[in-house]
Chain A
Amino acid sequence: MSMRSQALVEHHGVATGKEMSTSDTLKRGLHLSPELSRGIWVTVCLAVLSTLGRVLVPFVVQRITDEGLLASGGPDAAVVAVYIGVALVGVAVTAVSAYFVNVRLFRASENGLSTLRLKAFRHIHDLAMLTQNTERRGSLVSRVTSDVDTISMFVQFGGLMLMINIAQITLATILMVVYSPPLALVVWLCFVPLFIIIRKFQGIVGRAYTKVRERVGDMLGAISEAVVGAQAIRAYGVEDRTAARIDVSVEAHRKAAIGAQARSVVAFTSGQLVSGLTTAVVLVVGTVLAVSGRLTLGELLAFLFLVNLFTMPVQQATEILNEMQNAVAGWRRVIGIIDTPADVSDPADDGVELPRGPITVQFSGVGFSYPGGEPVLHDIDLTIAPRSRVAIVGETGSGKSTLAKLLTRLMDPTSGRVLLDGTDLDTIRFSSLRQRVVLVPQEGFLFDGTLLDNVRFGRPEASQEDVERTLAELGLDAWVATMPLGVMTEVGQRGESLSAGERQLVALARAYLADPDLLVLDEATSAVDPSTEVRLQRALDSLTRGRTSIAIAHRLSTAQAADEVIVVDAGRIVERGPHAELVRLGGVYSRLHDSWVAQQQSV
């Protein structure tokens, strides 16, 4: 326990994907969202077509100038009209193909990224409980929301431009070579340093954007405290302190964002600077060439058009590549979570399907320690007979909750085996396991919905009558009757319209309706009043005949009702047997029991 928080981050944390290179990230990203690259060639061809139109226009403009306006013998209106006609066709082709490129790109990216969202979402639920607990919930949420949004922004706005730009750069280069190979060489030489700078800057800008994404996660974590901890903050009057803590994270995010912006501005303007300087160099070199008669003035000026046609997409491309770093940072984080191994994994199709029926539980030499921590369970050997009702008791921190989590396979043991009906727990399909074994934790989370929907969360096909019958069987019908709309009453966010005890009642009914063969209650009625608890206990007693039930309890009333009590102390089973016998034994349990009785004694 002691080292838990620390160690988890080191050994079991969620991967950030930070170590992945840009090209690996893109490769992996495209692999995860096959829709992104499906039919990409058609889109690329359309993009090239729309670029052809774009390049055609300045080309035609230049022809009109040379052959129409400056034609020997005065302007030739007929030639001009023909060329304008050609240009208009070019414009139309560009517009139509650009429309299709847009639509195809949006469809591909939205499909691909919704696939990515769904994969990440599902994988987060598949991650082991311990891994989930290493991450802030807000940060997990950002993996399937803002991180993916960043990617889609890039793919939709940047992706299209990048394709067009690359096509345009290629075409412009070809035209430049046709006009003047030496000047084309000059232009490319001018841009070589830029390409080197950009490569360098991409790393810098990329790291800066990764930092921004991390700060967003921190900020969401801090803001969520103001939302989720609203009651505690008000009760202690720590609004100002919470505000100060939020401010720190907001400020850290602002600084990181401005830092990233500054770096990308430098990278981008270096492109613009090089473009401008290239024009200057072309003018100087072109003058020298023209003076020596290897170039006419008209050709030089035409070439300047081409330089513009070349530098514009290069500048845009540099900017898009910078934005890409932002997207890649988001992509890395999403891929990071998808690539985090689900330590406690579903054997799925390789797994065993257990037939329904009373369950035997067996622990064989089970030990457990939290990653990097000291062992909390040692060498547990335990067999729980089918149909028995067992209570596990012990002091806080004795390891009794750990037993429950191993038993329901929320965690796997560090050593030894846990078996259900003689089958290793980790070979049982989750679909079968979760149906047969259900844990009711102390804090049963409720969804924002009706009582009805919450109770049937584990079995959505259950009818309202089923739910009402279940509640009645558990003796909770009188309580439901006090609700304004009965089972149709909304429970509010996280069930906050109900009291903690009431939430536990719902959680218990929910587990009961799921109809497991083994019900594990981990302090599931700790906030319920004694009279209701005893009533529930009796209802469960009569209802759980035929199934196995294991209750981890602080209140010993549960232990008294059990067939057998298992006493855990410092990670070992120290006593077991029926309540009455353990009381007589005079060991750990009898001490616990004395103190319990003293608590209940009325003077």
Chain B
Amino acid sequence: MNDLPTSTLREGLSVIARGIKGQPRWFSLAVLGSVVYGVMTGMTAWTIGWVVEHEISPAIAAGSVTPQQLWTIGGVMGLVVLVTVIGVIGRRLAGGVAMFNLGAMYRRQVTRQYLRLPLAWHHRHPSGQLLSNANADVEATWNIFAPLPMALGVVVMLAFGIVQMMVIDPWLAVVGLTVFPLLFLANVAFQRAMSPKVTLAQQLRADVSEVAHESFEAALIVKSLGREDHEAERFREVTHALRDANIEVGRTRGRFDPAIEAIPTIGTLAVLFVGTLRVSGGYLTAGQVVQVAYLFSILAFPVRALGWVLAELPRAVVGWKRVSAVLDAEGSMTYGDRNLPRGRSSRLQAEQVAYAYEVESEAGEIDHNPALVDVTLDVAPGATVAVVGPTGSGKSTLTNLMMRLVDPDTGAVLVDGIDLREVRRGGISDVAALVAQQTFMFDDTVRGNVTLGAPHDDEAVWRALNVAQGAGFVDRLPEALDTHVGERGASLSGGQRQRIALARAIIREPQLLILDDATSAVDPSVEQAVLSRLREASTGTTVVVVAYRMATILLADEVVYLEGGRVLDYGTHTELLGRCAGYERLVTAYAREAAERAALASEDDDIGADFDDDYAEPDARRDRVEEVSR
């Protein structure tokens, strides 16, 4: 991190400029309020002098005071106070509005970016860090707008004060002109010393958030393996690092703060000393010296606002760097302007597609892990194709490519002859739907999770749920379609989430449906119902289904067999069964297993007849079954 004061100052000023550009009106209003406050604070000293000279002294001299005089004293002072307070309200309220508006503005921009950047980018960035960018870093960037208007008001105040001093005595003004730049320099030194420490603390704060986030997401695993102590230790390490960094920040602050506070006081004493000499020399009256000393004492406190701004600068710069890293992130997908044909089932092709994941080793070296190699496919409109392959053979990657969630490294994916990269933004999801292996639920109602905001009436939602065989359980939820499913659908079981996710796809009547092992937790009959329902639809649907189940595979016209990221075979189930050993091994695994078990069991049967009797209470058990079914 660059800790040259000038560069932090320059970067800080550019952050401020950006903020002012974002909220010109509220910021101007805040500065206006601050200037009113600054001028009126200077006016207070002057007003007191005026009241004493014109009202109080004559009254004391006369030995009596009229109500008229008392009203003037109270009235003039009251008026000054009132205007000052209005200035303060303007400054703080408008400053706050500007600050929070900027925060909201940049939170929107950052999250827009999250939605725009490709999946690969997301995989490279810890979610804890992204949350911290959108929350703490945005806040750190714009927090500077809290003291900023005040500081600008103080500048006005200072100018006002220096002019007053100039008018009174140039020598006293020289004292002022020495002290105020000294104050500024002290603040710059302060900020220079603080910058690296604050940067470190900010980074550690993000680390703490990251560890907490991951650990809480893993709560179930932590619990079931009894690793709470281990996790607490991991969190303790980052927390203690943050603590130590913050204590360092405090130490630096402790060193500079009192010094910066002492400077105006020393200035006041200097004024008195120089003033005494000047009075002795007959150039000044004692009253004038007192007036300047009073000015110093009034200015001493607000001048610190300049220090606050400078103290906030490094934080703002660091926050902005982290925010702008997101805003400037490139590699977002580019889109064409073509539309995919509507109203009929789609043809899906993959031409020599290759895709490799980037894997970063602990040493930070990037390695490529090929997931797909030279994959070529042609799925006819209206066909149902099953993608079969062992765990880790690239099936999910293939489905992601088909939806253009990722772009191939080489080759192309085409729908109806159109390269997906030429399709306009949102054009693919208009015609295609993917039900992923792991369903994501939004923190919304059941209805919202099915429609995702598209204008479908409840009847359509129920129809879709019916096809997905989810209507039954949804109907039993306390508020049916209006039931909130909680964050990530926490209140639902895996099977229930899958049914809602299926309904989400069905309601869209897609021309191309991709099911990525999306029915593992539901009955095969659900799968059959979904597929036949889609076939009945007027447009018809091309279906790509990643499956292990024989029943599902049998629903497909053709089968693609993947292994190690390559298409090893492509044909009907029967063909593959006959000629592809890997395929045969995979799909008949259960049957072979069952056959072997059965053979073993029949041997056991003769031996274990007595054993069976222990369990044989078929009548009693049947009773219980009936009880349940009633």
User: Which of B367, B440, B442, B573 touches A602 (beta carbons < 8 Å)?
Assistant: B573
Q: Which residue of A lies closest to B110 (CB)?
A: A223
Contact with B along A1-18 (1 / 0, CB 8 A): 111111010000000000
User: Which of B266, B289, B597, B612 touches A91 (beta carbons < 8 Å)?
Assistant: B266
Q: Which of A508-562 contact B (CB under 8 A)?
A: 510-511, 514, 523, 526-534, 537, 554-555, 557, 560-561
The reply to whether B239 and A118 contact each other, CB–CB distance below 8 Å, is yes
With A64-B272, A430-B226 known to touch, is A106 a contact of B107 (CB < 8 Å)? no
Complex Cα distance, B437 from A401, in Å, reads 20
Residue total for A at the interface (Cβ-Cβ under 8 A): 210
The reply to whether A410 and B224 contact each other, CB–CB distance below 8 Å, is yes
Q: Is B130 an interface residue (CB 8 A)?
A: yes
Contact with A along B263-306 (1 / 0, CB 8 A): 00110110011011101100000100110010001000100000
With A232-B436, A283-B77, A499-B391 known to touch, is A485 a contact of B217 (CB < 8 Å)? no
User: Which of B231, B247, B301 touches A107 (beta carbons < 8 Å)?
Assistant: B247
The reply to whether B628 and A574 contact each other, CB–CB distance below 8 Å, is yes
Which B residues are in CB contact (< 8 Å) with A572? 624, 628
| Secondary structure call for the A interface | helix
User: Which of A220, A221, A291 touches B63 (beta carbons < 8 Å)?
Assistant: A291
The reply to whether A580 and B601 contact each other, CB–CB distance below 8 Å, is yes
Complex Cα distance, B592 from A534, in Å, reads 10
Q: Is B182 an interface residue (CB 8 A)?
A: no
The reply to whether B227 and A457 contact each other, CB–CB distance below 8 Å, is yes
Q: Which residue of B lies closest to A113 (CB)?
A: B243
Which A residues are in CB contact (< 8 Å) with B429? 234-238
Q: Is A477 an interface residue (CB 8 A)?
A: no
Complex Cα distance, B219 from A133, in Å, reads 10
Q: Is A185 an interface residue (CB 8 A)?
A: no
Contact with A along B86-129 (1 / 0, CB 8 A): 00110011001100110110011001101110010011011110
Q: Is B48 an interface residue (CB 8 A)?
A: yes
Q: Which residue of B lies closest to A242 (CB)?
A: B115
Q: Is B1 an interface residue (CB 8 A)?
A: no
User: Which of B107, B209, B396, B612 touches A141 (beta carbons < 8 Å)?
Assistant: B209
Q: Is A170 an interface residue (CB 8 A)?
A: no
Which B residues are in CB contact (< 8 Å) with A231? 119, 400, 405, 436, 440
Q: Which residue of B lies closest to A275 (CB)?
A: B81
Q: Is B18 an interface residue (CB 8 A)?
A: no
Contact with B along A63-103 (1 / 0, CB 8 A): 01100111000110100110010011001001110111111
The reply to whether A272 and B84 contact each other, CB–CB distance below 8 Å, is yes
> Whole-angstrom distance from the CB of B105 to the nearest CB of chain A?
9
Q: Which of A362-409 contact B (CB under 8 A)?
A: 396-397, 401, 408
Q: Is A203 an interface residue (CB 8 A)?
A: no
Contact with B along A581-596 (1 / 0, CB 8 A): 1000101100000010
> Whole-angstrom distance from the CB of B576 to the nearest CB of chain A?
11
The reply to whether A129 and B223 contact each other, CB–CB distance below 8 Å, is yes
The reply to whether B433 and A225 contact each other, CB–CB distance below 8 Å, is no
Q: Is A422 an interface residue (CB 8 A)?
A: no
The reply to whether A265 and B594 contact each other, CB–CB distance below 8 Å, is no
Q: Which residue of A lies closest to B115 (CB)?
A: A239
The reply to whether B391 and A528 contact each other, CB–CB distance below 8 Å, is yes
Q: Is A23 an interface residue (CB 8 A)?
A: no
With A234-B403, A396-B522 known to touch, is A431 a contact of B395 (CB < 8 Å)? no
Q: Which of A435-483 contact B (CB under 8 A)?
A: 435, 438-445, 447-448, 450, 457-458, 460, 479, 482-483
The reply to whether B81 and A224 contact each other, CB–CB distance below 8 Å, is no
Which B residues are in CB contact (< 8 Å) with A113? 243
Q: Which residue of A lies closest to B554 (CB)?
A: A603
Which B residues are in CB contact (< 8 Å) with A96? 258
The reply to whether A579 and B107 contact each other, CB–CB distance below 8 Å, is no
Sample of 17 more A-B contacts, CB < 8 Å, known A110-B243, A138-B213, A530-B590: A65-B272, A91-B266, A107-B247, A118-B232, A144-B235, A227-B130, A231-B440, A236-B452, A247-B108, A250-B111, A253-B104, A284-B74, A300-B56, A457-B221, A460-B230, A527-B437, A561-B597
Show 21 residue pairs from A and B whose CB-CB distance is below 8 angstroms, ordered by the A residue.
A58-B297, A64-B272, A65-B290, A99-B255, A114-B242, A234-B403, A234-B429, A257-B96, A276-B78, A277-B78, A283-B51, A445-B220, A523-B494, A533-B589, A557-B589, A557-B594, A572-B628, A578-B601, A580-B605, A585-B621, A587-B621
List the 6 closest A-B pairs by CB distance, nearest first. Answer: A434-B226, A106-B250, A276-B81, A237-B429, A102-B254, A5-B491
